[in-house]
Structure 1
Amino acid sequence: MILVTGASGCLGSHIVRRLLEQGEAVAVLVLPEDPAPALAGLRERLDWCEGDLLDPASLVPALRGVTRIYHAAGLALPYESERQRMFAVNVQGTVNLLQAARTAGVGRILHVSSIAAVGYPARQADETMAYNGDAFRLAYMHSKREAEEQVRRFCAEGMDIVIACPSAVIASHCDVLHGWGKVMLDLQYRRLPFIPPGGIAVIGARDLVEGLQAVMDRGQRGERYILSAHNISYRELFSCMADALSVKAPRWRPRSLAWIVALLRPLDLLIGRVPLRLSADVVALLGRQVHYRTDKARQQLGFVPSQSLEDLVHETAHWLTRLQERER
């Protein structure tokens, strides 16, 4: 039995579907109040376990008979006000799961971390990058890094855990409140007035799940692997998204964003509709070329992404369109 945490989320739901397609017996950990729309129609094929990473007792029944775990649960929000929640879920939740898994005798665990835990480079980087967390006041970044440190502690104590660090995931069932789904909706309804001057690394769900399975099957215990597919500028990404949504991309490309956010933040507080609830550190990232190399995953695991940027963006846009049609 394979357990997937975060199964109702974007990445977790794609992992679940791939495992079912391959004939695996799959258990999912889902919050009791979560309607889990991303798993619609799959409940009868799954060992459905309601539980919470912050409630260790609820993890015990979920781990019965489990031999492997894809730990994809996590909280990613751009707001420093959510620091306590992110550390609770991303760090303490991971510790609780690993303790319960050790007691249950689980064989191997794949911890889904993030490129944020590697660090945010000014130029293309790999797994050996010196972590630059001191340069950023970003709760998500620090919580994912601390979670990795806890994973390494359990590894040192004998557990078999491997680490995957995905770049930004653009796929169906993405977050429409805070994540890429919201970005695409803001673009569709012309709530994004400009294109950031920096760049980003992205990957689609299809390639990422294949990469995660490669890490699970062939990754070396205690090692981390960056999984990414495209190093692109925000201009390229937003142009591709605009094309997929049949809208025009913003034309304004400011050289600096700090003064723009300073201008818009009071409006956001007043009307709650401006999409930039960003700290100065997030703004700084939007001006960087945050790109990564995947040589390690390619050489050690045979990881070769195949999904084009256009394909993964259009696939996500199609899902977003159908979602809006169902909600009308």
Structure 2
Amino acid sequence: MRIAIVGATGMLGHHTALATSRAGHEVIVVYRNPRSLESIRDVQCEARQADLNDRGALRNAFTGIDAVINCAGYYPTIPRPWRDEVQIAKAQMQNFYDACADLPLRKIVYLGAAIALPHDSNGRPGNEELRYREQPNKKSPYLQVKWALDEQALAMAQQGLPITIGIPTMTFGEFDPGNTTGRLIIELANRSLPGYVNGRRNVIYAGDAGRGLVRVCEAGRASERYLLAGENMTMEELMGKVAVAVGAPMPKAIPLNVARLVSAWQTFRFKLGGPEPQVSDSAIAVMSSGQFINGEKARQQLGFYPEVSIDKAIARALDWFRGKGLVKTRAAA
């Protein structure tokens, strides 16, 4: 197939582009900024320029394409009202879907997020059938955005678009710009991590997640979700692995209510012209709102199994950050 990758200059998109090529497909990278192409020089591809805010450019970029994998997932970074974040995210994705609707695409893969799934009422690992009956009560911008985009994707699929949702869990690996999950590694290695909020997580190597998204594109069913799961662990266990990898002391767990107070104060300071919050609402949501995940559906229907352990994923990410000069402190010999 001729598969377009949107967001290929990001971590998941880069791994997905490489996995697409290795699977024997023709890769078309859709990029926004020409300067970012240097970061994917290891990907054999055709490059086409388009912006998610430009429906016409997207339609032109997707011409002659069999399938699209959209890895340009919207992620709230600077503090803004959650309704504004949702409006921006949905408008961008609607442009994307409208551009796709004009073309005879065989498959559209939306990159979902596990936080869009409610927790199982019986405490079992989360699965693809979980769905909020109504809008979540928590007003975290990250949760609200990912829930709204999940609902939007399912609604567009019901309207006839061949959309399948691939949901990698928390990812670590190479090509990480260091502004999301990779911050845990960078800041702990640099001894600048203020702490972490405990919770349950499922963690996967970004390269495995990229392979999984290709399998979703190849064999996933329209209107279906597929969880691309790695290893279930608590944030305490995960941070223990990171601490060992970087040679740092185990960081302290911060109570959730304290983390929220710190985030609120840092957000208030930011609105007065101060620095961006180090403890963001999105980071708190990622750490505290997760759950263990059941990846059986992807195993059964897609034949997807992770190949790289989380210890190796952390080590590969750490080597990447060191190579980019983002980590200053070396692990003790």
What's the TM-score, normalizing by structure 1? 0.86
**Contact 2:50–2:57 under 8 Å retained in 1:** yes
AA paired with 1:70?
Answer: I
Q: Secondary structure at the match of 1:27?
A: strand
- Post-superposition offset of 1:210: 2.2
RMSD, matched Cα: 2.8
Structure 1 residue 156 corresponds to structure 2 residue 144:
no
Cα deviation 1:93-126 (Å, max 9, x = unaligned): 2222222122121121111111122235684221
Q: Secondary structure at the match of 2:94?
A: helix
AA paired with 1:135?
Answer: N
Give the Cα–Cα distance (whole angstroms) in 2 for the partners of residues 234 and 147 of structure 1: 26
AA paired with 1:215?
Answer: V
Distance 1:114 1:81, change over 3 A: same
Structure 1 residue 128 corresponds to structure 2 residue 100:
no
- Equivalent residue runs for 1:1-328 within 5 Å: 1-32=2-33, 34-42=35-43, 45-77=44-76, 79-81=78-80, 83=82, 86-88=85-87, 90-119=89-118, 123=123, 124-131=125-132, 133-177=135-179, 179-250=180-251, 252-254=252-254, 256-262=255-261, 266=265, 269=269, 272=275, 275-278=278-281, 283=284, 286-287=287-288, 290-324=291-325
Distance 1:50 1:82, change over 3 A: farther
Distance 1:213 1:33, change over 3 A: closer
Give the Cα–Cα distance (whole angstroms) in 2 for the partners of residues 146 and 284 of structure 1: 16
Cα deviation 1:214-269 (Å, max 9, x = unaligned): 2222222211111111111111111111222222222x335x23135525764783
**Contact 1:162–1:219 under 8 Å retained in 2:** yes
Give the Cα–Cα distance (whole angstroms) in 2 for the partners of residues 11 and 308 of structure 1: 17
Give the Cα–Cα distance (whole angstroms) in 1 for the partners of residues 153 and 278 of structure 2: 34
Cα deviation 1:115-163 (Å, max 9, x = unaligned): 1222356842212224275231122322222223332333223222211
Distance 1:310 1:62, change over 3 A: same
What are structure 2's unaligned runs of at least 5 residues?
329-333
Pairs aligned (count): 320
Identity percentage of aligned residues: 22
Cα deviation 1:173-208 (Å, max 9, x = unaligned): 22323x022221111122224342322111112221
What's the TM-score, normalizing by structure 2? 0.85
Give the Cα–Cα distance (whole angstroms) in 2 for the partners of residues 211 and 317 of structure 1: 23
**Contact 2:143–2:285 under 8 Å retained in 1:** no
The structure with more helix, counted as a fraction of residues: 1
